[in-house]
Amino acid sequence: MTRRVEVVEDILSANDHLAAQNRERLEAAGVFSVNLMASPGAGKTSLIERTAAGLGSEMRLAVIDGDLATSLDADRAAAAGAQAVQINTGGQCHLDAAMVRRGLEELDLSQVELLLVENVGNLVCPSAFDLGTRTRVLIASVPEGDDKPFKYPGSYHSIDVVLLNKIDLLPYVAFDVKRFLHGVEVLNPSLQSFLVSCQTGEGLEAWFAWLRREVAGMRAEVVR
């Protein structure tokens, strides 16, 4: 097993190197970038559609979409008006920095202010791979249950933002919002959290406002 551990460490260190290059490139271009992670079906693509619809007229948005096998998600992002690049991972369970670099090469970054990177739907593997984005966002969803921060600490740790999606289902599911938020905050004391429904639109305005501030802050940094 030693050989396996060494190889895994080689891969992670090569990934970190590429992630640093991606980060440098994105920062230089003044692009605010987000690594969107979640379980399958928690609402990553719906959030991207909603965000494109809500902010598309104010800022230039691009999406890099990681998918195991199809282009269903990139099609939805493009239909919602975003510049969309599909990265087919060929079965790999997470995006890595090399894949994101290939995605960046297909985008004209001078025409992008906000980049959403949609990771593979998986609560375990993506968290180990830095992609070079400025921010890590985890989308949880009400039907998954309020115990997920306790059960998937690797993914819930070292995120900057959590969105709890599908709050329209709270009346029909046993879910203790306080228990959930407590679990996330224990792991990330400075966390930003939003309760939203991509179905009804509830709560999304606060997420948009946060993105507006972050994108404006990024512009100000580049101008300086």
Q: Of residues 12, 59, 93, 206, which one binds a copy of itself by CB under 8 A?
A: 93
Query: Please, are residues 100 and 119 in contact by the beta-carbon 8 Å criterion?
Result: no
Query: What would the two tokens of residue 2 be?
Result: 């030693």
Kindly list the distances between the CA atom of residue 173 and the CA atoms of 23, 40, 61, 141, 166, in Å, as whole numbers in the listed order: 40, 18, 34, 11, 11
Tell me: does residue 4 bind a copy of itself (CB under 8 A).
Answer: yes
Kindly tell me which residue out of 9, 11, 17, 21 binds a copy of itself, with binding defined by CB under 8 A.
11
Cβ closer to a copy of itself: 3 or 224?
3
Using CB under 8 A as the binding rule, whether residue 166 contacts a copy of itself is answered as yes
Provide the CB-side half-sphere exposure for 186 (13 A, CA): 11
Question: Could you identify the residue written with the tokens 């949880």?
Answer: 140
Is 13 a residue that touches a copy of itself (CB under 8 A)? no
Candidates 26, 52, 97, 123: give the one binding a copy of itself (CB under 8 A): 123
Task: Read off the tokens for 218.
Answer: 């990024």
Residues that bind a copy of itself (CB under 8 A): 3-4, 7, 11, 39-41, 67-70, 72-73, 91, 93, 120-125, 141-145, 147-148, 150-154, 166, 168-169, 172-173
